[in-house]
Every structure is written in C-alpha cells, then in structure tokens.
Amino acid sequence: MEQVQVQQHPLSIYFKIWTLLFILSGLSYMVDYLQFQGYLRWSLIIIFMLLKAGLIVAVFMHMVWERLAIIYAVLVPTLAIMVFIALMALEADYTFLSRLIYFGR
Amino acid sequence: MSSDTTAASQKGFAGLAGDWASDKDAFKGVPWGKAMMWIFLLSDTFIFSCFLIGYMTVRMSATDPWPNTSEVFALEMFGHHIPLVLIAIMTFILITSSGTMALAVNYGYRRDKKRAAILMLITALFGASFVGMQAFEWTKLIEEGVRPWANPMGAAQFGSCFFMITGFHGLHVSIGVIYLLIVAIKVLKGHYDKKGYEIVEITGLYWHFVDLVWVFIFAFFYLW
C-alpha cells in the first residue's frame, strides 16, 4: 500500500486565499455596479473569473500539491471544451445570420 | 492451470474486476476515493460546460433582445434600488462556505473531529441558505412570467437557460448539503478514526467544485 499523502498546510494560506476570493468577487460585482460595457466589461469578467477559478482549484482543492499524473488527468481533458466552444460559436453565428436572412429580423 | 489465481487467469466478472484492479496504481499517494471524486468532477465539468456552451449558442443566435440581467435580478433594499444584489449575496455566501469547508478539511487531517464536523455543518448551513435564496429568485422570476419556453422581457431562450443552468447548479448544492450532513455526522460518531479523514477532503472537493461552477455561472450568465 502506497503511503497516502496527507494534505496538511498552515491555516494562514486558506485565510489568504479566502480574502483574495472575497476581493475578486467584490471586483467582479463592481464591474456590473459601475456599468462597464463592451470589451472592458468582458475582459474584466473573464480575468476575475479565471483568477477565482484558479485559486479555488489550486489551493482549496489542493491541486498545486498533487502529483503531475492527477493534475494532467483532470486538467488536460478540459482543453477539449475549448474546441467545443469554438465549434458552437461558429454554429451560432451561422444560425443568427440565417435567421436574419430568412426571417427578416 | 486451475491453481493459478492471478487476475490474468480468471474469466468472467472476476476477471473483469481483476483486470481493472490488478495492482495498478496510476495516482500514487492518492486514495482511491479521491481519485474517483476527481474523475466524477471531471465528468461534471463536461456536463456544466455543455449547459454553458448551449447557453452561449442560443444567446448568440437569438434575434430577440436578451434581458438585462443586471435589472432582472435587482432588488429594492433599504429604500435603494441595487442591481444584481441577490446574486452578489449568493456569490459571497458560497465563497464563505468554501472557506469554512477548506478549514474543515484541515481540522479533519488534524483529527480534530469536533471542529471538523462543526465547520462542515456551518458549510451545509450556508449551502442551505444559498438554495433558499435560489428558490426565492425562481419564485420572483416565475411571478414575472418567465417560463422555460417564454419570457416577457425578450428572448424566450433566457427562460430555458436560466431554469436549466441554475436548476442543475441548485440540485448540486442541495445534494452537497445532504452529503455534508451525512459525513459530518459520521465524523462526529468517529466512523473514520481507523480509516482516516480523507473523506472530509473528498467531500470538500465536491463542495469546492460546486463553488467553482458558480464562479462560471456568475460570470457568464449573470454578469455578461
């Protein structure tokens, strides 16, 4: 039986990440509250979202302390989602244009 | 050859089980329960990705105007009109619960049963309040006439996306609350004294994932 790695880390790191998550959530709410629009809004939303997601997966879910085998097993398959997004974005554009042409609105 | 009892020699279901379990250990140092939870979460990632990609597709191709979520989810509080306030509160509640869960995992590994269980119960309480607010939000939108097939504020697709995405997320939170309650009670009873406290971390993985999904829903559905 392999020795089980125990995920034991000082509490302070959790409090730091917790605070960061609060700040980032507050900032993403401010994007809406201050009514930023257009590319500024979208890029800020994505930046705060990715930072939050990264912190949760890396520290709260202990991913940074795991071995590479499990990190790759979990993170690499999600790259396929990027392809799916690109395909469906093309499809949506096509549907939208068809609707404009054939339904006149 | 009947005396050979290695996995390779067995047939039928015993052989099937043996082949899959023949002392192969891909994830070294990771308890099997944790590896299985990660794989489940990966499959769940694909489910929620399908929902969000479906939402992207119908939103991009909708010719009717998309409702302004900032206004749809605004509330009158203390005499002020605050945009998106309920969703912001729900976001903060879920993040708080993620923090208490992370602490519970830490105390679990320290074999501090009481603190771990209490923190898990607090996490479950935050989760339950989140589901309560979601029920309030659903009630409000249903009263305003939003249906999975129609929406008085514009594109009909808004209704179907809203109910499907938040509904599935709410279901995950509800299941998480039940899961947390069961594990917390078992921790208190000392069921894991011999087995070890990985179960708290596994439960934590599920709970953090629920928070993670909300991060994406908050960004793409509510803020976009």
Residue B26 has pLDDT above 90, yes or no: no
Confidence of residue B6 (pLDDT cuts 50, 70, 90): low
Q: Contact B38/A77, CB-based, under 8 Å?
A: no
Torsion of CA B180, B182, B188, B194, to 10 degrees: -100
Residue, of B168 and A2, whose pLDDT is higher: B168
Task: For domain B31-223, give the fold.
Answer: Four Helix Bundle (Hemerythrin (Met), subunit A) (1.20.120)
Note the pLDDT of residue B20: 74
Q: Are residues B171 and B163 in contact, defined by beta-carbon separation less than 8 angstroms?
A: no
Q: Give the mean pLDDT of B24-41.
A: 85
ipTM: 0.90
Residue, of B75 and B164, whose pLDDT is higher: B164
* Pairs of residues, one from chain A and one from chain B, whose beta carbons lie less than 8 Å apart: 153
Note the pLDDT of residue A2: 45
| 3-state DSSP assignment of residue B80 | strand
Task: Enumerate the residues of chain B whose CB falls inside 8 A of the CB of residue A8.
Answer: 106, 109-110
Q: How many CB atoms lie within 10 A of CB B213?
A: 25
Least confident of A43-57, B7-21, B112-126, B163-177: B7-21
Note the pLDDT of residue B194: 87
Task: Say yes or no: A29 contacts chain B, CB-CB below 8 A.
Answer: yes
Q: Phi then psi for A66, rounded to 5 degrees? A: -80, 165
Residue B25 has pLDDT above 60, yes or no: yes
Calculate the average pLDDT of chain B: 89
Q: Give the mean pLDDT of B142-156.
A: 89
Residue A43 has pLDDT above 70, yes or no: yes
Residues 112-141 of B with CB under 8 A from A: none
Q: Contact A69/B26, CB-based, under 8 Å?
A: yes
H or E stretch including B184?
helix B157-189
Query: Model-level pTM?
Result: 0.88
Residue B223 has its nearest CB partner, among A8, A15, A45, at: A45
Residue A60 has its nearest CB partner, among B49, B57, B98, at: B98
Note the pLDDT of residue B2: 46
Residues 157-176 of B with CB under 8 A from A: none
B68-122 pLDDT tens trace = 888 888 887 777 788 888 999 999 999 999 999 999 999 999 989 999 999 999 9
> Domain residues of chain A, as ranges?
9-65, 67-105
Q: Contact B63/A103, CB-based, under 8 Å?
A: yes
Q: Give the mean pLDDT of A9-33.
A: 91
Note the pLDDT of residue B159: 92
Q: How many CB atoms lie within 10 A of CB B126?
A: 22
> Domain residues of chain B, as ranges?
1-30, 31-223
Calculate the average pLDDT of chain A: 88
Q: How many CB atoms lie within 10 A of CB B78?
A: 5
Q: Give the mean pLDDT of A1-28.
A: 83
